[in-house]
Structure 1
Amino acid sequence: MEVPAPGMIVRRSAPEGIATKATKSGRSRRVPIGNRVLPIVERLKVDKLPSDLLFTTVSGSRLHRSAVLRTMRWERTGRGRRIHDLRHTAACPWLARGVDVSTVQAWMGHASIATTNLYLHHLGTGADLASLERLNRAPGATGGPSAGRAGEQQ
């Protein structure tokens, strides 16, 4: 999908060993594609119909999770993380950059905003962010400790 902005429509799931089925929520969702990822997606969709799977093997067959894990050497590169943890890797920067929680909820396909709110604990509170900003100010900057009296040599 390219209008109004680049994105993918997620309509189905194809877990390994199970027939293609609807998404967990039963609804399709639009997921945005950032500018850095767009060229990769453009290459992947060459000679494919909109109804075709985007991520496939070289021969066009369904790409199974086990093959992805093996190819990526996930036991080593994943460092104890699950593939599902990549969803956190996507959601947290969106939220940290100010994307509205309800928009992230739609992109993630969460039925409840409470599920999306679980990602917020990774970001800290507004008080955490404000305090860290104060700590990172240069000495003498507004709100920071004084670097010395005006005109004094340090």
Structure 2
Amino acid sequence: MSSVAPPLENEQLVQRYTRHLSAERGLAAATVTAYTADVRSLLDHLDRYRGTAAGEVIGEPLAGLTLAVLRSWLARQRSTGAARTSLARRAAAARSFTAWAAREHLLATDVGQRLASPAPHRTLPAVLRSEQITAVLDAPARLDTDTTDPDSGGRTGTATAAVELRDQAVMELLYATAVRVSELTGLDLGDVDRHRRVVRVLGKGGKERTVPYGLPAERALDRWLTTGRPLLAGTESAAALFLGARGRRIDPRTVRAVVHSRTRGRAGAPELAPHGLRHTAATHLLEGGADLRTVQEMLGHASLATTQLYTHVTAERLRAAYQQAHPRA
């Protein structure tokens, strides 16, 4: 059995683990932040647990960390009303942390290896039907300067026209590629291969993938790049593909506002966030005959099980169509 390393203070331990998540595993910043907060919570619970159980607080940060302690930590989270999805993430964070601690000889064994996660209730957001998304993308832009671009102060009529071209290109590319908001806003000019009609996307965990897009998105991109972007570009634009009204790289909040604004108030259609547009694209791919592996690659899912969630949507639609059309449904 490996020897346990000398004690570390809690915060030093957390910082060391954070560096591991960022530098070695290459996790997204939001994931690193969430896992770091979970580990701080776990260490605080461990201090309290040891102080109650042993009558004193032990100096080593991980002394006394057992599977029972991990389970009691999750139970405490559940008793305070944490959602099942949050509990599942915290269990994953705990398993990641104890596995790392065991490799670093901060724990004699990986005590979190047998920690189970509560199965989360996973629900997909509403999606648009193919005719609804066509109506949204083909409709004239309904620009709202208060909601479409938080960076819109002092915009001229020329800049407004440029923003309309940008918003159309954003909508077309989001639906065509099903990329995440963070992936879209991170695109640079060099990431777009217009000859092959593909974009190079840097996804979660620093994983790169290539995603195709179609002719409508190409036409919208061409109008934005030849007419719109030059009107907004400035000294702070660098190589960003999409720009805010002040010429800086577009903010994710702006993209969310664009999607909400363009899908709001459509008769019989739900208002969508960008993630709903991503789900819409994935659903339409599967309904059109694309196989799961292809859609998994396009979406950048690490697990095929995540992509399989979309088959539930298409199955529900099939059932609804059957019940409506079949005489003996």
TM-score normalized by the length of structure 1: 0.61
Query: How many aligned positions are there?
Result: 123
Does the C-alpha gap of structure 1 residues 94 and 73 become closer, same or farther in structure 2, counting only changes over 3 Å? Answer: closer
Deviation for aligned residue 1:100: 1.5
Deviation for aligned residue 1:42: 2.5
In the alignment, is the contact (CA less than 8 A) between 1:6 and 1:38 conserved in 2?
Answer: yes
Give the match for residue 141 of structure 1. Answer: none
The gaps in structure 1 that reach 5 residues or longer are 12-22, 137-143, 146-154
Establish whether residue 122 from structure 1 lines up as the match of residue 313 from structure 2: yes
Structure 1, residues 81-107: CA drift from partner, whole Å, max 9, x if none? 432121101101011001111111111
Establish whether residue 10 from structure 1 lines up as the match of residue 201 from structure 2: yes
Give the match for residue 289 of structure 2. Answer: 98
Separation of aligned partners in 2, 1:127 and 1:66: 35
Larger Rg: 2
Establish whether residue 63 from structure 1 lines up as the match of residue 250 from structure 2: yes
- Residue 39 (structure 1) aligned to one of 203, 219, 227: 219
Partner of 1:36: helix, strand, or coil? helix
In the alignment, is the contact (CA less than 8 A) between 1:8 and 1:30 conserved in 2?
Answer: yes
Higher strand proportion: 1
In the alignment, is the contact (CA less than 8 A) between 2:240 and 2:249 conserved in 1?
Answer: yes
Deviation for aligned residue 1:125: 6.7
Separation of aligned partners in 2, 1:85 and 1:71: 13
- Residue 27 (structure 1) aligned to one of 204, 207, 213: 207
Separation of aligned partners in 1, 2:294 and 2:260: 33
Higher helix proportion: 2
Structure 1, residues 23-48: CA drift from partner, whole Å, max 9, x if none? 21421111111122111122334489
In the alignment, is the contact (CA less than 8 A) between 2:200 and 2:209 conserved in 1?
Answer: yes
Separation of aligned partners in 2, 1:28 and 1:80: 30
Deviation for aligned residue 1:53: 2.7
Does the C-alpha gap of structure 1 residues 83 and 97 become closer, same or farther in structure 2, counting only changes over 3 Å? Answer: same
In the alignment, is the contact (CA less than 8 A) between 2:201 and 2:209 conserved in 1?
Answer: yes
Deviation for aligned residue 1:132: 2.7
Separation of aligned partners in 2, 1:56 and 1:30: 22
CA RMSD of aligned residues (A): 3.7
TM-score normalized by the length of structure 2: 0.31
* Seq. identity, %: 30
